[in-house]
Chain A
């Protein structure tokens, strides 16, 4: 009986520790058994040949047990590493596919258009020359946007993003984004609803502007023209969405009372219910989505909002999709004071 208890102990040790402590445990347990249970007790002496055999057998069993357990662990670890590697490769391939498409399309346009202009300047009509130059210009801007996205993503990946918070005028930020996207938005029925007397918020202007830009830009890419598009900004003293009760972030957030809520809502096709969760994943692209896009836009949105300890929620609403962003932040109502 005591031998089995000792064996169990050795096995447990083998599950937890490395090979050397396990061998040591096997040896020590054999000595313990000898010392306490093999007569004459409380000595290391073994008198009968039968006891000597038992002790030897115990020692061998303990050794085999521990070595086998250790081996199984090693195999499991190898299998796990292999699986992780396979996942990384899969992710890498997805990245390469979407990237090579997204980067090579504008590059092909630039190279081709420039070749045409260089080699056949006389055969090209003035209109076509101009068109080629316009193509070069558009392709370069597209390339620039993709590179910016990749840089943002790698900043997020490296854990390098430290929001540089300063007082922000949300009204100004929303209109800055809308003005930048003027060409994309001209055929949409844009409705901007900003709560009156919205306070100033302490945010990283550049990051949150990028969040808004990505969401509004996405809406103009994936929803039909002439549909409605809403940008809503309001202050909430109590957040609408509660975090997971066992989320450790909650206790920290609970201390701040004000939340900036930004809502981007469209009247497009919405998202397939089973993909709602995945769209924020890096490089994730909706099944059946049209070409273009790297699948980075929404993961950047999520990363930048989370860098502010905020949350972003996507849900389908009747006739469209709604992104809700909530950011806990300091507010300043100085805006509403009579100045001077």
Chain B
């Protein structure tokens, strides 16, 4: 299998160097662009397997670049942002970004996000059982086992868990979860989400106060992690 190709669009040469070194030493092929214009040109002439896009570019707003890319580019895009401005991040995720990282980010986190977005989505759907160490989620049988014991979930709890688990490693926004599980009329009813996440954690996590699977992304959403 060929090494996956990653396109980095960031105007800061230090960040580009850092990303290049990190990714080349983890067997990715890297191309980088210092501006939106250059980035869009490279992406169009030679579509990469993944785009890492900085939101703060000098020549064009990163959100606009994201929209332009999403007009035709279907593979994963990870957003880099300097501020932890939740609205900005939610907007980028709603506009088709697959994930985000806030500068300064840890290398381990970056690589985990890349692995997660590059994982072939059809193959994970093909697996009827999502296996996360002590926890097994059987999507075909709609059952969940913790330490080989059946966990009793209500149907809403199950839908929420299945949705999160099917997008393993990806952050799902509050609005997305509310719309998919409860319906479009509920996108502002975040209190339901809080309550059901708390209940799910009590049932599936070993220590609900130190969740290992359902992680909170403050102000943005939740992320399901199968194993550390």
A interface residues (Cβ-Cβ under 8 A, vs B): 140, 144, 151, 164, 166-169, 171-172, 175-176, 179, 200, 205-206, 209, 332, 334-335, 339-340
- A167 surroundings in chain B (CB, below 8 A): 190-191, 194
- A340 surroundings in chain B (CB, below 8 A): 154-156
- B192 surroundings in chain A (CB, below 8 A): 334
- A166 surroundings in chain B (CB, below 8 A): 174, 190, 219
- A335 surroundings in chain B (CB, below 8 A): 191, 194-195, 198
Q: Are B198 and A171 touching (Cβ within 8 A)?
A: yes
- One of A151, A176, A200, A339 near B216 (C-beta < 8 A): A176
- B156 surroundings in chain A (CB, below 8 A): 339-340
B contacts with A: majority SS: helix
A contacts with B: majority SS: helix
Cα A206 to Cα B218 with chains together (Å): 7
Judge whether B108 is part of the interface by a CB distance below 8 angstroms.
Answer: no
Q: List 14 A-B contacts (CB under 8 A).
A: A164-B86, A167-B194, A169-B197, A169-B198, A171-B209, A200-B191, A200-B194, A206-B218, A334-B195, A335-B194, A339-B154, A339-B156, A339-B199, A340-B155
- A339 surroundings in chain B (CB, below 8 A): 154, 156, 195-196, 199
Cα A302 to Cα B197 with chains together (Å): 30
Give the size category of B's interface with A.
Answer: 20 to 34
- A168 surroundings in chain B (CB, below 8 A): 194
Judge whether B104 is part of the interface by a CB distance below 8 angstroms.
Answer: yes
> Considering only CB atoms, which chain A residue lies closest to B195 in the complex?
A335
- A175 surroundings in chain B (CB, below 8 A): 209-210
- Nearest-neighbour CB distance to chain B for A297, whole angstroms, equals 18
Q: Are A334 and B86 touching (Cβ within 8 A)?
A: no
Interface set, chain B 145-163, CB cutoff 8 A to A: 154-156
Cα A175 to Cα B190 with chains together (Å): 20
Q: Assuming A175-B209, A206-B218, is B195 touching A200 (CB within 8 A)?
A: yes
Q: Are B218 and A209 touching (Cβ within 8 A)?
A: yes
- B154 surroundings in chain A (CB, below 8 A): 339-340
- One of B194, B198, B216, B219 near A164 (C-beta < 8 A): B219
Cα A171 to Cα B197 with chains together (Å): 12
Cα A171 to Cα B86 with chains together (Å): 21
